[in-house]
Structure 1
Amino acid sequence: MSDAKARAYAARLHKVLDYIESHLDELLTVEQLSQVAHFSKFHFHRQFAEYTGSSVFRYIQRLRLKQASYRLAFEHSTKIVDIALGAGFENPESFSRAFKNLFDQSPSEFRRHPDWESWHACYRLKLPERKQTMQVDIVDFKMTRIATMEHRGPVEWLNETVGQFIAWRKASGLSPKQSSRTFGIAYDNPDTTEPDKFRFDICGEVSTDVPADPSGVVTKLIPAGRCARVRHLGSHSSLGESVIYPLYREWLPHSGEELRDFPIFFHYLNLIPETAEHELVTDVYLPLK
């Protein structure tokens, strides 16, 4: 297959993956998806499996269970039966069976004590990269005071810290997500840092310093200064390949810019679980001199 044909073939399958992500709450059939890709429905199963390493059914179910797992972990007031129905299952029993088969925890067990390390292992899928067009803008970021919960340890357990920060945010009322910006500060690259040394701050904008709190939330500042800003659309798990590596490897060497002594950080314009992964919007800021 020539390079041009291979790119066209990949584009058709990427179109299917995009379609699945944006229609997870609808009935999805092989016939329907094969038409999206303009493939014969008789061969679509095999083509999809060879490209993604998963059958169509299992791929769709994994995405639906992923969305459901976020709701279980971060929406404690939502009933499991409602999460099951929202994930496209006919009843809580079939949802519970599928959930336990994938994560080795029942939905109620996951809600109480999520095993995020095993959860991450389920989603280490070697899917072909879907590149986004990267537009870099130079902006002046204003100094921002933030309430910060420091994550220190394996990236697989970052969601545990996220859950703790959400609980603090709700209990304290000091940084309501409806009216306060949410940030993440990445001190280390999880691909090159020893797991126990990985550092990441989860932050919410505040107007005054945070009082001493047993949860460990502290006050920090994101300093004012020039930044390269890129808007990323979609799952946070693709930020590295879609934005961060291209910024450092491709854009920075040709930009004539130099880095400031502050780590790359993220402004999350919307959040899981109320936002589907494919609809997430994240502004990535690279501090410059």
Structure 2
Amino acid sequence: MTAALRNYHERMQRVLDHIDRHLDDDLELDGLSGIAAFSKFHFHRQFTATFGLSVHRYVRLARLKRASYRLAYRDNDRVTDIAMDSGYTAPDAFARAFRQRFGQSPSSFRKSPDWEPWLAAFGPLDNARSKLMQKILTPNDVTIRNVPPTPVAIMQHRGDPAMLGATIQRFIAWRKAAGLHPRTNPTFNVWRSERRPASPADYSVDLCVGTDRPIEAKGEEIKAGEIRGGRCAVLRVIGNTDNLEPAALYLYRDWLPESGEEARDFPIYCQRLSFFPEVAEHEAVAELFLPLK
């Protein structure tokens, strides 16, 4: 990448970061073009050419994504407040836009989300974000740590990854009822299959919360387990933590063969250190752990 192109991308990245941090504010073209230091007469076309969607559509999708996360995972947030925070002057207008995008009203989505239309609706947003969020990883990004064993409570997801959101929703509700808050009890994902197996039915991931307390299932299928201790290669990922596959591929394809290390008999896993929408999406942090012999 040339210096000029890198500079151009950095200026556009500043715009995306600004939008993430100011979803509650007015995000007008004049202000956004100033963030990028581009001419306001050309910025809209530059943004559309770079990301494949207009500024207005990008902002609307970013607000709806945050709103949908709050509806699904934060049941104490009122629909009216979510609507206002999404830039709508009335709940009815928000409900119409939400139904048009996802085929469900906000209240229906909160009770029983249909995740397949949700995933399809945010494809353009995720594609736009990924265009500038590709980072060239190097061995300096990887550290080796001796990790202590961690007792965990586990909710398993087995089957179509499109339904993972429903399992996450149940997991959050269960840990909230159990008093296992992310600030006091760490959150882990342990992958037991590829991200996109040949058959969706073969997808497998464990949602885990660190705790040494006796497990109270509270009507859910929860079991006690352990994330084994030992040496691990650790790679920190900031932003776009919904998809950790590029980081995992780097560890397996590039870092592991060049390091002379050998993988241990335990799946790759991550610890989620900060979460969207509690933080702006580009500020979410996860650490990927590749167990080593």
Task: Please give the TM-score of this superposition, normalised by the length of structure 1.
Answer: 0.92
1:116 positional shift: 1.0
Partner of 2:39: 40
Is residue 149 from structure 1 mapped to residue 143 from structure 2 by the alignment? Answer: no
Is residue 123 from structure 1 mapped to residue 122 from structure 2 by the alignment? Answer: yes
Partner of 2:73: 74
User: Residue deviations 1:29-54, cap 9 Å, x none?
Assistant: 11111122222211211111121111
How far, CA to CA, are the matches of 1:88 and 1:95 in structure 2? 8
Give the gaps of 5 or more residues in structure 2.
Answer: none
1:210 positional shift: 2.0
Evaluate the alpha carbon distance shift between residue 159 and residue 247 of structure 1 in structure 2; reply closer, same or farther with a 3 A threshold: same
1:230 positional shift: 1.5
* Contact 2:11–2:36 (CA under 8 A) maintained in structure 1: yes
User: Residue deviations 1:54-82, cap 9 Å, x none?
Assistant: 11001011011100101101111221001
Which of 206, 214, 222 is the equivalent residue of 1:217? 222
For residue 269 of structure 1, give the secondary structure of its aligned residue in structure 2: strand
Identify which range, 205-214 or 263-272, moves more after superposition: 205-214
Identify which range, 104-113 or 123-132, moves more after superposition: 123-132
Which of 143, 148, 164 is the equivalent residue of 1:137? 143
* Contact 1:146–1:221 (CA under 8 A) maintained in structure 2: yes
How far, CA to CA, are the matches of 1:106 and 1:80 in structure 2? 11
Which of 253, 256, 259 is the equivalent residue of 1:255? 259
Which of 259, 267, 272 is the equivalent residue of 1:268? 272
Which of 199, 203, 210 is the equivalent residue of 1:205? 210
How far, CA to CA, are the matches of 1:188 and 1:236 in structure 2? 18
Partner of 1:30: 29
User: Residue deviations 1:131-155, cap 9 Å, x none?
Assistant: 3464111001111111000001122
Q: What CA RMSD, in Å, does the superposition of the two structures yield over aligned residues?
A: 1.9
Partner of 1:283: 287
Task: Please give the TM-score of this superposition, normalised by the length of structure 2.
Answer: 0.91
1:281 positional shift: 1.5
Amino acid at match of 1:138: I
Which of 231, 236, 240 is the equivalent residue of 2:236? 231
Is residue 194 from structure 1 mapped to residue 195 from structure 2 by the alignment? Answer: no
Partner of 1:103: 102
1:232 positional shift: 1.3
User: Residue deviations 1:183-206, cap 9 Å, x none?
Assistant: 111112223442111001111111
* Contact 1:144–1:205 (CA under 8 A) maintained in structure 2: yes
Evaluate the alpha carbon distance shift between residue 155 and residue 52 of structure 1 in structure 2; reply closer, same or farther with a 3 A threshold: same
User: Residue deviations 1:124-176, cap 9 Å, x none?
Assistant: 23231413464111001111111000001122211110111112112233x33
Is residue 172 from structure 1 mapped to residue 178 from structure 2 by the alignment? Answer: yes
Amino acid at match of 1:46: R
Give the gaps of 5 or more residues in structure 1.
Answer: none
Amino acid at match of 1:130: M
Amino acid at match of 1:251: W
How far, CA to CA, are the matches of 1:143 and 1:16 in structure 2? 41
1:17 positional shift: 1.7
Identity among equivalent positions (%) equals 42
Amino acid at match of 1:115: D
Evaluate the alpha carbon distance shift between residue 273 and residue 116 of structure 1 in structure 2; reply closer, same or farther with a 3 A threshold: same
Amino acid at match of 1:114: P
How far, CA to CA, are the matches of 2:157 and 2:39 in structure 1? 48
Evaluate the alpha carbon distance shift between residue 40 and residue 176 of structure 1 in structure 2; reply closer, same or farther with a 3 A threshold: closer
* Contact 1:74–1:273 (CA under 8 A) maintained in structure 2: no
Runs of 4+ in structure 1 displaced over 6 angstroms? none
